Structure 1
Amino acid sequence: MVLLCAGAALAAGLTGCGDAGGLESAGPTPTAAGPVRLWPDLPPVTAPPYDYGEGETERVRGVRLPGGEVRRADPVAVVQAELAADPDQFRGEDGVYETTVRRIRECRERPAACPVLRPYYRDLTGDGREELIVAVRMEEQQTGLRVYTPKDGGLTRILADEDQVVGVQAAGRNLVVRAVSAGIPGYEYRTTWTWEPRRGAMLAASDEIVRVRSATSPPREPAPRSASPSPSPSSSPSPSASPAPSGSGSGAR
């Protein structure tokens, strides 16, 4: 009986066999259209693009990591070591984040005002070892995002970015950063950072603008959140690294 039903279905053009849940036609299939190249005679680009600093890596001077276990590293000490080596990376243009620099330096004396948020750990490079993920709250609702990988008994920074961040998610070996879209109410930027072994750094594999609410709805004010030096670390990443920090390391959007 089953064979007769199947044969009848095939003969009828896969329209079903009378029972609910049988095969049904999906209708006509639209004709596939391949991409069409526009302006094929455009000349090649010879001038180098503007350097936003993507893919830059740097060894963290003064931090030793015997055994390569990132959970032994104090995130506050790591950020302070980077600050000592290059104060301008947290100071911003014209010193607009001077308060952030001062608070980082005073994290031990004034832990309640320390802008270094709790660390997270995730294997982002696929080598079986965890990376250290750190966020620093800055002025103008900005967040500085840093990722460090263990290498040669120390730490190497493989990602550095600043933006008005409204959320950070770890998805597999990717970091998805949600940031405010300047001048486009109701939308946000979502950048996916992915490890690129040939470059030895995390690169922005995708960058998109996503509608998140009605364009007429006013943006929500971020809830205040006190920073702390480095509370108990967690192995599972948080859906949001910080409430609402600000303008991108690859330029304000």
Structure 2
Amino acid sequence: MHRSRLALTAGLVLSAGLLAGGCGDPGGLRGAGSTPTAEAPTRLWPKLPPPSAPAEDYGTVESVPVKGVDVPGGNLYEVDPATVAKADFDKNPGIYSRSDAVYKETAKQLDACDTGHTADEKCPVLNAYYRDLTGDGKDDLIIGIRLARGHAENLDIRAYAMEKRQLTQIMDMGDAVLGVELAGHEVIVRAVSGMQGYEYRTVWSWDSHRGAMLPTTDEIVRSPNAPSRKPERKPEPAASARLTPSPDASP
């Protein structure tokens, strides 16, 4: 019998003997041993002075009204996404300056967009998606504006909602986007990282206090398409160094 099975059998026999002798568990509370002491987080540089200016924002963190666009009955399905992109990009450049080359080139491409819901190859506005992002039970509008080649921010992502019968921009960000996903009320953006084999993963969530989508989670993760690191193989010894037993050697 295996050693572990022998120990298990002996333990079962001893337990049976204790139960037969009336030495059962008397009940009541028993101590579980010492509990590790909880440690509070250690604060580093407690006398560090506050910063003189806030850090640069990742994207739009406030709602912006979009003027000049008629939304029939407040139904975002009835409005042309290219028309929304034109009006919003013209009035609200977002992270771009009106003097930037990327803004000028994209504005020219938006002027070439035809009206209608059919995507045009010359139009930089991608097919629109609809999802309730604010949690009010109504679908919001999500569009992507493909920027000119050669720019680090190759996709501008914007979201719109109807706030008090007014078309309102609730999200605006630009990045070297690898992919965009919708999960519940959140927008998940995967972007290129400077480290090979890794990518940025940013989760945008609705914030009712700010009235806009905020990047609530921003992390760098291993890319799912990155090749796995193969374990290093130790070099095999040379043939002359191997020991070969002689034919007459006893086993």
* TM norm structure 1: 0.66
In 1, Cα distance between the equivalents of 2:145 and 2:97?
Answer: 12
Q: Decide whether the 8 Å contact of 1:178 with 1:191 is kept in 2.
A: yes
Q: 1:86 to 1:201 in 2, by over 3 A?
A: closer
Q: 1:105 to 1:35 in 2, by over 3 A?
A: farther
| Letter matched to residue 123 of structure 2 | C
Q: Decide whether the 8 Å contact of 1:90 with 1:97 is kept in 2.
A: yes
Q: Describe the superposition over 1:109-166 as per-residue Cα deviations: whole angstroms up to 9, x where unpaired.
A: 9932101000000001100111100001112361000000012323100000000101
Match for residue 65 of structure 2? 59
In the alignment, is residue 152 of structure 1 matched against residue 192 of structure 2?
no
Q: Decide whether the 8 Å contact of 1:186 with 1:215 is kept in 2.
A: no
Select 2:41's aligned residue among 36, 42, 50. Answer: 36
In 1, Cα distance between the equivalents of 2:165 and 2:177?
Answer: 31
Q: Decide whether the 8 Å contact of 1:193 with 1:205 is kept in 2.
A: yes
Select 2:100's aligned residue among 79, 94, 99. Answer: 94
Match for residue 120 of structure 1? 129
Q: Decide whether the 8 Å contact of 1:91 with 1:101 is kept in 2.
A: no
RMSD between aligned alpha carbons? 3.2
In the alignment, is residue 175 of structure 1 matched against residue 187 of structure 2?
yes
In the alignment, is residue 47 of structure 1 matched against residue 52 of structure 2?
yes
In the alignment, is residue 76 of structure 1 matched against residue 104 of structure 2?
no
Q: Secondary structure at the match of 1:111?
A: coil
Q: Decide whether the 8 Å contact of 1:83 with 1:89 is kept in 2.
A: no
Q: Secondary structure at the match of 1:135?
A: strand
Task: Please report how far the alpha carbon of residue 102 of structure 1 lies from its aligned counterpart in structure 2 after TM superposition.
Answer: 1.1
Percent identical: 38
In the alignment, is residue 163 of structure 1 matched against residue 158 of structure 2?
no
Match for residue 247 of structure 1? none
Q: 1:167 to 1:138 in 2, by over 3 A?
A: same
Could you tell me which runs of 5 or more consecutive residues in structure 1 were left unpaired when the two chains were aligned.
1-7, 13-27, 217-253
Task: Please report how far the alpha carbon of residue 94 of structure 1 lies from its aligned counterpart in structure 2 after TM superposition.
Answer: 3.0
Which protein is bigger by CA-based radius of gyration?
A: 2
Q: Decide whether the 8 Å contact of 1:131 with 1:147 is kept in 2.
A: yes
Could you tell me which runs of 5 or more consecutive residues in structure 2 were left unpaired when the two chains were aligned.
1-11, 17-32, 230-251
Task: Summarize the alignment of residues 129-148 of structure 1 with structure 2, pairs less than 5 Å apart.
Answer: 129-139=138-148, 140=151, 142-148=154-160
Q: Decide whether the 8 Å contact of 2:186 with 2:204 is kept in 1.
A: yes
Higher relative contact order (CA 8 A, sep 6+): 1
Q: Decide whether the 8 Å contact of 2:60 with 2:94 is kept in 1.
A: no
